[in-house]
């Protein structure tokens, strides 16, 4: 990422370290000489004060004092020569008795050798001079002690340049190592910081796509950990809010559609009921009149008459229940409870409850599903749809007696298919399957007690969900299918369009 925090931290650290090194390089090159001169003058003054105190005590000739002065000169990197009032050398750090220091001191006395005056006091002067013979620069302090002795203190000036160059080289080398080690440290440290931030970024993206399974898992008690916890809380509350919004949207859509359907559905309902009840009522009436008129006295025949009456009454009772369910769905009198649930668990539960019917039909079920598939819908009505498809497949399964159930994720939706081996549905009947009381094979339908309402209930439920459903013929059987939302965007967009 071009503007990642990790890259910015690395660039910031590298720039800061480089700036510090450059500043130290400039300071070292520009101000080291001044500091050296000031420091060296302080050391010379300390050495002078020691010599002056020694001269006052007339103790400069003692072996102990000579050793002490020698140690101080070595420590301060200075050469010293002292001449008493009789021109005798009382202290000399040079091996030659009358070497360069002696010559230089005589030059100062006669006024021949002078250099750049750096500081002047009553008892001494400090010069910056250059040795023409060696080409080296020195700092010389020349003056008079308390016992009228004269002295010269010399310290090499050129060492400052060596110090500056050495320090600059050290800064370059040490700075490079520091930058490298620092980059490794910052990279490791930035990993610790950016990892939870990247997790939060991914979490926010998934939340934007309405994926509420996403949770922040890195934890921590710092600011990022608190932010992650708030993300999880926000995700939970957003899911609850969307659930409530779906309920409200479905209620709104139901109210809009209800007024348009009421009158037409009432007339259609009355016509269909009167038509469907005509046959069982006639059968019940005929067999009941036969029993009353004593048409037979055979106990077995009378039992048969009673069984027909009971069977037809049960069929009428089941048909009335289905009609009431369908009426509620079509009139919108039943509220939808939109929730997010595991579709695989629902299907497995229905299969378990229909185990006896499957055994009676000698049908083999092949259920191809994932471990968990979550959808948004009314769980109870989704079970009704699947149960109708499954019982329909059980009643019509033939040939190899195979029923195949599949759950197929398709982006924002999930498709459920129920296939049963057997005869395909005639093409001219497919469009009418979803109409109330329509039967493709009336004899077979009446044999197992069907009344042509099951698929109408499926149609009403799926239209209340605003989802797709259908049927597809194969050479060796029939497949019924329906779809449900796995995300919320489709339902929300539909409701917004209707509100507009």
Model confidence over 381-436: pLDDT tens digits? 899 899 899 988 998 898 889 999 999 998 899 999 999 999 898 888 888 888 87
pLDDT: which is higher, 47 or 36: 47
Model confidence over 317-333: pLDDT tens digits? 766 776 677 667 766 65
Model confidence over 292-304: pLDDT tens digits? 777 777 788 778 8
Q: Which two tokens stand for residue 386?
A: 């699947």
Model confidence over 20-38: pLDDT tens digits? 777 777 766 666 667 777 8
Query: What CA–CA distance (Å, rounded) separates 146 from 84?
Result: 11
Query: Poorest-confidence range of 58-72, 228-242, 252-266?
Result: 252-266
Q: Is the dihedral of CA 220, 223, 228, 230 positive or negative?
A: positive
Mind giving me the DSSP string for 184-245?
A: HHHHHHHHHHHHHHHHHHHHHHHHHTT-TT-------SSHHHHHHHHHHHHHHHHHHHHHHH
Mind giving me the DSSP string for 252-315?
A: HHHHHHHHHHHHHHHHHHHHHHHHHHHHHHHHHHHHHHHHHTTS---HHHHHHHHHHHHHHHHH
Query: What CA–CA distance (Å, rounded) separates 487 from 212?
Result: 10
Q: Which two tokens stand for residue 376?
A: 């948004």
| N- to C-terminal Cα separation, the chain | 41
Model confidence over 351-389: pLDDT tens digits? 988 888 888 888 999 987 777 899 999 998 899 899 899
Average pLDDT over residues 345-351: 91
Average pLDDT over residues 467-482: 93
Query: What CA–CA distance (Å, rounded) separates 433 from 424?
Result: 13
């Amino acid at each position: 990422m071009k503007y990642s925090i990790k890259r910015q931290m690395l660039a910031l650290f590298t720039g800061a370290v480089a700036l510090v090194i450059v500043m130290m390089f400039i300071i070292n090159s520009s101000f080291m000489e001044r500091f050296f001169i000031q420091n060296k003058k302080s050391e010379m003054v300390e050495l002078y004060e020691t010599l002056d105190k020694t001269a006052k005590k007339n103790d400069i000739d003692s072996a102990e004092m000579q050793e002490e002065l020698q140690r101080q000169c070595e420590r301060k990197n200075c050469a010293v020569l002292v001449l008493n009032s009789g021109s005798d050398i009382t202290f000399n750090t040079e091996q030659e008795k009358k070497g360069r220091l002696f010559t230089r001191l005589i030059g100062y006395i006669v006024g021949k050798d002078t250099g750049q005056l750096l500081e002047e006091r009553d008892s001494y002067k400090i010069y910056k001079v250059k040795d023409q013979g060696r080409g080296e620069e020195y700092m010389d302090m020349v003056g008079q002690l308390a016992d009228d002795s004269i002295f010269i203190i010399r310290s090499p000036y050129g060492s400052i340049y060596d110090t500056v160059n050495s320090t600059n080289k050290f800064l370059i080398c040490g700075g490079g190592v520091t930058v490298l080690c620092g980059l490794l440290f910052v990279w490791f440290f930035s990993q610790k910081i950016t990892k939870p931030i990247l997790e939060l970024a991914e979490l926010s993206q998934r939340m934007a796509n309405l994926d509420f399974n996403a949770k922040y898992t890195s934890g921590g008690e710092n600011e990022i950990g608190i932010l992650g916890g708030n993300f999880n809380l926000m995700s939970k509350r957003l899911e609850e809010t969307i659930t409530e919004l779906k309920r409200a949207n479905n209620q709104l859509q139901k109210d809009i559609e209800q007024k348009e359907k009421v009158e037409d559905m009432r007339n259609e309902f009355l016509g269909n009921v009167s038509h469907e009840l005509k046959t069982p009522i006639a059968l019940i009436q005929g067999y009941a009149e036969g029993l009353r008129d004593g048409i037979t006295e055979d106990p077995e025949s009378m039992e048969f008459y009673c069984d027909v009456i009971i069977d037809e009454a049960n069929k009428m009772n089941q048909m009335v229940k289905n009609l009431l369910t369908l009426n509620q769905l079509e009139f919108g009198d039943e509220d939808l409870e939109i929730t997010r649930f595991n579709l695989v668990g629902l299907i497995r539960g229905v299969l378990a409850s229909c185990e006896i019917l499957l055994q009676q039909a000698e049908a083999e079920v092949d259920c191809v599903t994932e471990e968990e598939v979550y959808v948004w819908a009314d769980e109870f009505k989704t079970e009704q749809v699947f149960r109708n498809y499954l019982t329909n497949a059980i009643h019509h399964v033939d040939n190899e007696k195979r029923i195949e159930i599949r759950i197929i994720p398709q982006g924002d939706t999930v498709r459920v298919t129920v296939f049963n081996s057997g005869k395909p549905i005639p093409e001219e009947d497919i469009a009418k399957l979803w109409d109330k009381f329509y039967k493709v094979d009336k004899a077979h339908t009446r044999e197992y007690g069907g009344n042509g309402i099951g698929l109408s209930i499926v149609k009403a439920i799926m239209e209340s969900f605003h989802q797709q459903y259908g049927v597809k013929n194969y050479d060796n059987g029939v497949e019924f299918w329906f779809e449900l939302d796995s995300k919320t965007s489709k339902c929300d967009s539909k409701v917004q369009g209707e509100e507009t």
